[in-house]
Structure 1
Amino acid sequence: MPQKQHNSGQSDESRRLRLGVELELIAGQLRSLARAQDRLHELYEAVLGRDVGLSVVLQLIVDTAMELVSARYGALGVLNENGEYLAQFIPVGLSEQERADLAEVELPRGRGLLGHLIAVPESLRVDDIAAHPDSAGFPPGHPPMRTLLGAAISTRGKIYGDLYVAERHDGRPFDAHDEALIVALAGAAGLAIDDARLYQQTRLDAEHFQRLLLPRLPDLQPFDAAAAYRTASTPDHIGGDWYDALLVPDHACAAVIDAAQPRNDHTHPVPAGSTVIFFTDGLFEHPARPIETGLERLANLVTEHAALPLQDLVQALADHHPSDGHDDMAILALRVPRTRCSSG
């Protein structure tokens, strides 16, 4: 009887130890989930706030995936618009030598297990890559990999590519907890790609519509005239700036400024051969610099390109403007002939 009590005590102690281990594992998983939630929140903020480009967000997704499941390697492939091939592939974890060995290798063609992830939009957890029936092997110079965990990147039923990680640092196969994290991150990647492409299409549509509404400069002889318009880098700023030009009945060139603050009338003769440039604030304003600095840089830019033909001049100003590009810009230039003419 005493022996049975001793065994019972050992059994209770063993159960307590196992329970402690299980609780520690659960606590670790909760910490991982909390970190994942924070990183996903950062991803959404980055995409919605447009603080970074899409490629940076995708890189962050791969880095986050590797960190959360303690993987040695990770990659993210993005299909082209038609879903025919991988247009972008972001591998992470390769050494400098491994990158050099794979420098001449083409992007993955979406075959093998990567193709499986695209064709079958479900998560994939593999303990032995070589033994999987869809495995197509690795190109020369590719580091050896045995375990893989991946998920298709999709939004609203459309497949954009795939996210995968390989080889846990502890040598163990990936588990169900790892799989849940990768699926969540693949969902974040899908939203980022979908949002970026929608954003780009919206911007292109807005720019096209704006250009359809732009006036065509009339014949202003004897003056030479040229204009340029650039949309803002964000669609919500499209349509604020404008330009137009016409000759008044006495064939002069006149500028009319209508503002809330009263302005004194004055006349300034324009010498023959001079160039007058009208522009909106989107050409020179930058939130990180004083307005005076932007105007000074713009003046230097005009001086640098002043000898160009007028249309080339306005294009140069639009291409090399000192602003941050977050506002649309309109430029109208008028060049007085070198022979004597009316001034305004």
Structure 2
Amino acid sequence: MSDDPRRPEPEEAAGHGTGAAPEGGRTRGGEAVEELSAQIRQLSLDRRRLHCLLDAVVAISADMDTRTVLRHLVRAGTDLVAARYGALGVLSEGGEIIDLITVGAADAERLLAESGLPQSHGLLGRLIEDPKPLRVDDIAADPRSVGFPEGHPVMTTLLGVPLSVRDTVYGNLYLADKEDGTPFADADEALLTALASAASVSIENSRLYGLLKRSAEQFQRRLLPVLPDLSPLLVEARYEPASELPHLGGDWYDALGLPDGAVLVVVGDVTGHDVEAAPLMGQIRNMLRALAFDRCGPPSLIVDRLDRALTAVDEPPAATLVLARIERDPAAGYVLSWTNAGHPPPLLITAEGTAQWLAPDAHGIPVGVQPGLPRPDHRHPLPPESTLLLFTDGLIERRDRDIDAGLRDLADHAAALASDPLDALCDALLGHQDGYDDDVALLALRVPRLPG
């Protein structure tokens, strides 16, 4: 035993006195450190989940197509809580599932084709009837479960949350079976609920975008004419809006028979893509019709009169166009006469599949720029069964392609379709690519076979 009271006894020095570790071998300080480490790990996990949630919301908001947004949502939900399977059931106004978007299930499309869409009963029906988050730890043991159709993956756990848009349940997001085999927890439910709440804004935006797109396209199409019967000439026209907003544009086409027996065709493009371009296009089209009927003069004269008439308009619009007359010459057959006001040239395809651009060196400038400048006329014979194509630049222009390459591609493609019916040729030309950076107006005219 020590004579110095300040020095600990040997047992104390060895850790068996005051402050000794409890029987488990851990000090109170060690427990605190372990608890603090656990809190830091949880905080780090929560931060990672928050970042994942924000990333998911950004990804969902990046697209305006409703079905693409919904697919992003299902994928984001499964990734966010590390689930094996995900599905989103879109509901009708009556609460029936009208579409199902799935992630993780192999052969999902085949299963849907064989079994049809899920019915609104069982656990799915429970969420439809009572749109609140639903968690099930054992699907097979739950009395509300009605089982799975043949060939469906066997699932054990379920987490479902409603998807509301403007206080209306748009659908339900379902996840099944976490990757680590554990049941879904409160944190998973909170994350999925937050994701569904944020996604509702993107869904509403995409729906409004789709409505605006359809309304704009319908308005644009109403401004375009129904083509008359111009027999024996055949004529077809197509209009395709740009793949992205704005969908209101100034592209147009027109064709009509004139009092002197000739046929007038025109394709043009008013500068701009907004709510003003489309009505201006309608005005210019109507003015051209009136001017053409008035005098039945050469194309250059009609366009020159249009150019001068536009000077009476406050802030006259600029427009490019090709205006052409097709008339029957007893000696030479059908002959095309045209003038070009800063527009892509016409393309002539013979019955044998030869493509020729009608692009003489002399051409005019767009209308609405500087009235009074000369506008040359050109003439060219139209061989029997040949096809004349007039179009706007949206058909040949792409952000990632040179315009000369676009012209070559169009000529090659059209030449290969020379013997196709005219309507099929137009459909094929517009179906050549998935989308367009700009509006497209296309007018095709086919000359009849010579009687013989």
The two structures have a TM-score, normalised by structure 2, of: 0.63
Root-mean-square deviation (Å): 3.4
Alignment check: 8 A CA contact 2:96 2:119 kept: no
CA contact (8 A) 2:390 2:442 kept: yes
In the aligned structure 2, how far is the partner of 1:284 from the partner of 1:182? 45
Q: Which residue is equivalent to 1:291?
A: 403
Aligned match of 1:66: 78
Give the aligned residue type for 1:327.
D
Query: 1:216 and 1:140, CA in 2 relative to 1: closer, same or farther beyond 3 A?
Result: closer
Q: How far off is 1:107 after superposition?
A: 2.9
In 1, distance between residues paired with 2:214 and 2:95? 21
Answer with 232-241 or 286-295: which moved more: 232-241
3-state SS of 1:166 partner: strand
Q: Distance in 2 between matches of 1:321 and 1:140?
A: 41
Q: Distance in 1 between matches of 2:154 and 2:382?
A: 74
Give 1:300's aligned residue: 412
Take 1:323 and 1:290, find their aligned partners in 2: how far apart are those partners?
18
Alignment of 1:126-141 (within 5 A): 126-141=136-151
Unmatched 5+ stretches in structure 2: 1-11, 263-324, 326-336, 343-364, 367-372
Cross-structure match for 2:54: 37
* 1:15 aligns with one of 32, 40, 54: 32
**1:91-147: CA deviation from partner (whole Å, max 9, x where unpaired):** 42x467x99888843332232222222222222223333454533333344444333
Q: Write the distance in 1 (CA, Å) between the matches of 2:96 and 2:60.
A: 27
Measure, in 1, the Cα distance between the counterparts of 2:193 and 2:75. Answer: 15
3-state SS of paired residue (1:134): coil
Q: What residue in structure 1 maps to residue 436 of structure 2?
A: 325
Structure-2 separation of matches of 1:172 and 1:54: 33
Contact 1:62 1:74 in 2 (8 A): yes
What's the secondary structure of 2:27's corresponding residue?
Answer: helix
Per-residue Cα deviation, 1:249-273 (whole angstroms, up to 9, x for no partner): 6544153433447776242232342
* Cα offset, 1:152, TM superposition: 1.0
Query: What number of residue pairs does the alignment pair up?
Result: 332
Cα deviation, residue 240, structure 1: 2.0
Structure having the larger proportion of residues in strand: 2
Deviation at 1:279, TM superposition (A): 0.8
Distance in structure 2 (CA, Å) of the matches to 1:79 and 1:91: 18
Distance 2:232 2:153 in 1: 70
How far apart are residue 80 of structure 1 and its match? 4.5
Q: Does 1:201 align with 2:313?
A: no
User: Residue 167 of structure 2 aligns with which residue?
Assistant: 157
Q: Which amino acid aligns with 2:401?
A: R
- Opposite residue 202 of structure 1, the aligned amino acid is L
2:45 corresponding residue in structure 1: 28
Distance in structure 1 (CA, Å) of the matches to 2:240 and 2:202: 26
Distance 1:255 1:321, change over 3 A: farther
Shift of 1:281: 1.1
Give SS of 1:244's match.
strand
**2:193 counterpart of 1:183:** yes
Seen in structure 2, the aligned counterparts of structure 1 residues 6 and 101 have a Cα distance that, compared at 3 Å, is farther
Aligned partner of residue 288 in structure 1, secondary structure: coil
Counterpart among 366, 379, 393 of residue 268 in structure 1:
379
Gaps of 5+ in 1: none
Higher helix share: 1
Shift in alpha-carbon separation, 1:72–1:250, aligned structure 2, 3 A? closer
Partner of 1:257: 340
